[in-house]
Amino acid sequence: MITVPVGLAGRSYDILIGPALIDRAGELSAGLLSSRRVIVVTDQTVAPLYGARVVASFKNAGVAATTVTVPPGESSKEFAAFGQLMNALLDQRPDRKTTLVALGGGVVGDLTGFAAASLLRGVDFIQLPTTLLAQVDSSVGGKTGINTRHGKNLIGAFYQPRLVVADTDVLDTLPKRELLAGYAEVAKYGLIDDPAFWEWCEANGAAVLAGDAAKRSYAIEQSCRAKARIVAADERETTDLRALLNLGHTFGHALEAETGFGPDLLHGEAVGAGMAMAFDLSAALGLCSAQDAARVRRHLAAVGLPVRLRSIGGDNRRTWQASRLIEHMRGDKKAEAGKLTFVLARGIGQAFVSRDVDETALHGLLDRTIAA
C-alpha cells in the first residue's frame, strides 16, 4: 500500500493506494471516525459490485454502516437529486459525528462531499473512489458540488475528506472507455510540470490501460502526488497554480457543452482532445515546438483517445463550428469577466496560464482542428 499525504494546515489527510483495499476500508478508516457510525453513499452500478464488501469491512471494524444508493450518472448531481439524497440521509437520523463514505466515481464523490459539507452544517467524509478519474483527480483536493441549469459544479464547497482509499483492483470492472477517459487526466500531470512522468506515460500508458497492476498503482500514485502538491500550495485556486490542473479543460469544456455533456463525449475524452488542442495552439503561437505538440497528439491517439473531432459522437457525428466553440468558452465559469483563460505550454511539462490569447489565432486553430 502506498501513502500519499495531502498537507493542508489542520485538515491534512492521506491517500492510500493499492490492491484489495476495499475490504480494508473499515479498518483503515476506523481510527479517524468521530463515532462508530457511517453512511455509505454509492450508485446503483457500484452498489452491487462493492457495496456489501464495504459495509462488511466497516462492520468487521466495529462500525455500524448503512447505505444510500443514487442512480448512476451526472443526473444525480442535479438539484432535485441532491435534495432527495439529503432527505434520505436525514431519514437515517445521523448526528454530527456520523461520517459519510463516498463509494463510486466522481459523481458520487462530488455529491457526497457536498452533502457532507451541508448535512447538519458539516459532517466528516471519506472517499472510496472507484473510477480512474476519481482516483487520480476528483477525490483529491476537496472540490465538491452539484450542477444547475446554469452549468456544472456552480454550487458547491471546498470541503476536504478525512481519508481517500483508492483500491486499484476495482478498476477491473470499470468499462474500458471510462478507464481511458480517466487516463487523460493521468497524462495531464506529465504535461503540466513533469516531463519525466510524461515520458513514462508514453512508454507505459498502454500497459496501464491493459491492466498491469504495478504500473496502474504507479500512475495513480504519481497523479495523486502531483495533485496533492498543487492543492497543498493553492487549495482554493487563488493563484494560477491550481488553475494549471485545467490544462485541456477550456477546449474540453467547449466540446462537452457542444455535445450536451452527454454520452457522446466523456469528460476525460474531452480533456484528451482539449490537451492536444492546447498544445497545437501553443505551437501555433510560437510558444512551444511543433514536435512537442505532435508528440502529445500522437500518444493520446495511440492509447485510443478520440483526439480528432471528426471521430467524436459515434453515429451522432456533428458539424463543429469554431464560433460556437468560442461562445461556449466564454460561458465557462473559468472565463473571468468574459476573458478566455487557457492553460498553454512552452513545452511538455511547462504549462502556464494565459489570459491574452489572440482570438484570430484561436479561431484559426479551431478551424484547422475541425478540418483535420
- Just list the catalytic residues: 121, 143, 185, 227, 237, 242, 246, 249, 253, 267
Q: Determine which residue in the list 39, 102, 133, 365 makes contact with ligand NAD, applying CB under 6 A.
A: 133
Sheet holding 37-43, edge to edge: 2-6, 13-18, 163-167, 125-129, 99-104, 37-43, 64-70
Report residue 288 as a C-alpha cell: 512551444
Residue 137 interacting with ligand NAD (CB under 6 A): yes
Residue 235 interacting with ligand NAD (CB under 6 A): no
Of the two residues 333 and 368, which places its CB atom closer to ligand NAD in the complex? 333
* CB of residue 157 to ligand NAD, shortest distance in Å: 11
Q: Which of 136, 68, 71 is nearest to 106 (CA)?
A: 136
* CB of residue 5 to ligand NAD, shortest distance in Å: 18
Of the two residues 22 and 357, which places its CB atom closer to ligand NAD in the complex? 22
- Residue pair 369/280 in contact by the 8 Å Cβ criterion: yes
Q: Which of 193, 196, 227, 177 is nearest to 17 (CA)?
A: 227
Residue 141 interacting with ligand NAD (CB under 6 A): yes
Q: Round to whole Å and give the CA distance between 140 and 159.
A: 10
3-state helix, strand, coil in the chain (%, to 5): 55, 15, 30
How many residues bind ligand NAD, per CB under 6 A? 29
- Residue pair 136/223 in contact by the 8 Å Cβ criterion: yes
Residue 293 Cα distances to 126, 275, 344, angstroms: 39, 9, 11
Residue with cell 455529491: 111
C-beta nearest to ligand NAD: residue: 106
Q: Round to whole Å and give the CA distance between 123 and 95.
A: 8
Residue with cell 457526497: 112
Q: Determine which residue in the list 51, 94, 105, 252 makes contact with ligand NAD, applying CB under 6 A.
A: 105
Residue 242 interacting with ligand NAD (CB under 6 A): no
Span near ligand NAD by CB under 6 A; candidates 128-136, 212-220, 305-313, 320-328:
128-136
x-marked contacts with ligand NAD along 297-336 as a string, rule CB under 6 A: ----------------------------------------
Residue 268 Cα distances to 48, 52, 216, 252, 296, angstroms: 25, 29, 17, 8, 15
Residue 84 interacting with ligand NAD (CB under 6 A): no
Which positions from 34 through 73 interact with ligand NAD, judged by CB under 6 A? 43, 45-46, 49, 72-73
Span near ligand NAD by CB under 6 A; candidates 23-31, 100-108, 256-264, 273-281:
100-108
* CB of residue 214 to ligand NAD, shortest distance in Å: 19
Binding residues vs ligand NAD (CB under 6 A): 43, 45-46, 49, 72-74, 77, 104-108, 110, 130-131, 133-134, 137-138, 141, 143, 152-153, 170, 173-174, 178, 267
